[in-house]
């Protein structure tokens, strides 16, 4: 009777949705391939453009007309004062490009920029593994360490704030694979469980260059393309332990009876 009762508890638990091998779904990322002409534009950096910093739609035309593009560009100049990098999406590239990076002040990387969407139109759910991928091209042969040291990466936002970033993620949650030439696919995974403040929050995506030390690889531009995001159902860590212990107990009891 006890074995039957435990079996019933485990079966009911599994039927509530704690699936160890969860289903993966694709989440739509607006203008993921940067081909939508409504987002074509350039956010100029440098002395003849924006001084100090900026944060606005990449299809920005004037202060009174910022267009309808979903991607935004954000940049901060050397010491937060001058020469912010340029963020752009053009018909020629059809990529999210950050250029004019690597401005040196006392040999330190002092500029940063990102191309981002604060809200892609869906929300985080509990017990889900989110996997973000992007093609990234810095025009040279790379390794994951080379990407992480200067701070080129991808990130997930929650309600506009950074939730996870490839440059700070645990080694098992970030990977880099060569696609062709100097183009790589960068992948970031992040799991959210019940009780995480991000649950129910807006999902956002960030493609960025942030200074992380000396820029020793001579990179002045980074291009992002083919953004994808998937969601996979995963069990709560404690729930998986419960199922495992229950299975062990069942096995032991059955062996004793045999």
25-234 in CATH: which number? 2.60.120.260
Q: What residue ranges do the domains of the chain occupy?
A: 1-20+238-258, 25-234
Question: What is the C-alpha to C-alpha distance for residues 109 and 103, in angstroms, rounded to an integer?
Answer: 6
pLDDT at 210: 78
Q: Hey, what are 170's tokens?
A: 């645990």
pLDDT at 231: 98
Q: Hey, what are 31's tokens?
A: 């203008």
Question: Who contacts 203 (Cβ-Cβ below 8 Å, separation ≥6)?
Answer: 27, 119, 120, 122, 123, 124, 130, 156, 157, 158, 229
pLDDT mean by block of 10 residues, the chain; 258 residues: 43 41 90 94 67 82 72 80 83 93 52 93 97 93 74 94 94 93 95 96 94 57 96 81 47 60
pLDDT at 195: 92
CA distances to 13, 15, 240, 242, 254 from 251, rounded to whole Å, are 18, 21, 17, 14, 5
pLDDT at 112: 84
pLDDT at 94: 96
pLDDT at 236: 86
Q: What are phi and psi of 14, to 5 degrees?
A: -65, -35
Question: What is the C-alpha to C-alpha distance for residues 46 and 54, in angstroms, rounded to an integer?
Answer: 11
User: How far is it between the farthest Cα atoms of the chain?
Assistant: 84
Q: What angle do CA 149, 151, 152 make, to 5 degrees?
A: 120
With left for phi above 0 and alpha for psi between -120 and 50, is residue 85 left, alpha or beta?
Answer: beta
Query: What's the DSSP call for residue 13?
Result: H
Has this prediction a pTM greater than 0.75? Answer: yes
Query: What's the DSSP call for residue 38?
Result: G
Question: What is the C-alpha to C-alpha distance for residues 188 and 224, in angstroms, rounded to an integer?
Answer: 14
pLDDT at 14: 40
């Amino acid at each position: 009777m006890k074995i039957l009762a435990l079996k019933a508890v485990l079966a009911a638990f599994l039927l509530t949705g704690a699936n160890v091998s969860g289903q993966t779904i694709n989440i739509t990322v607006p203008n993921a391939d940067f081909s939508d002409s409504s987002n074509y534009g350039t956010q100029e950096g440098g002395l003849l453009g924006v001084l100090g910093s900026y944060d606005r739609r990449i299809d920005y035309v004037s202060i009174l007309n910022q267009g309808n593009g979903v991607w935004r560009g954000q940049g901060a100049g050397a010491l937060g004062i001058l020469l912010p990098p340029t963020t752009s999406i053009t018909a020629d590239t059809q990529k999210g490009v950050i250029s004019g990076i690597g401005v040196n002040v006392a040999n330190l990387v002092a500029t940063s920029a990102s191309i981002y969407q604060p809200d892609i139109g869906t929300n985080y759910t509990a017990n889900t593994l989110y996997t973000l991928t992007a093609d990234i091209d810095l025009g040279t042969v790379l390794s994951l360490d080379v990407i992480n040291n200067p701070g080129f990466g991808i990130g997930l936002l929650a309600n506009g704030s950074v939730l996870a970033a490839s440059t700070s993620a645990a080694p098992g949650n970030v990977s880099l694979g060569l696609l062709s030439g100097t183009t790589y696919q960068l992948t970031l995974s992040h799991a959210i469980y019940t009780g995480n403040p991000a649950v129910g929050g807006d999902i956002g995506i960030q493609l960025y260059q942030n200074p992380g030390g000396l820029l020793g690889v001579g990179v002045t531009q980074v291009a992002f393309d083919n953004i994808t995001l998937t969601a996979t159902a995963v069990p709560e860590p404690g729930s998986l332990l419960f199922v495992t212990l229950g299975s062990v107990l069942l096995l032991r009891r059955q062996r004793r009876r045999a």
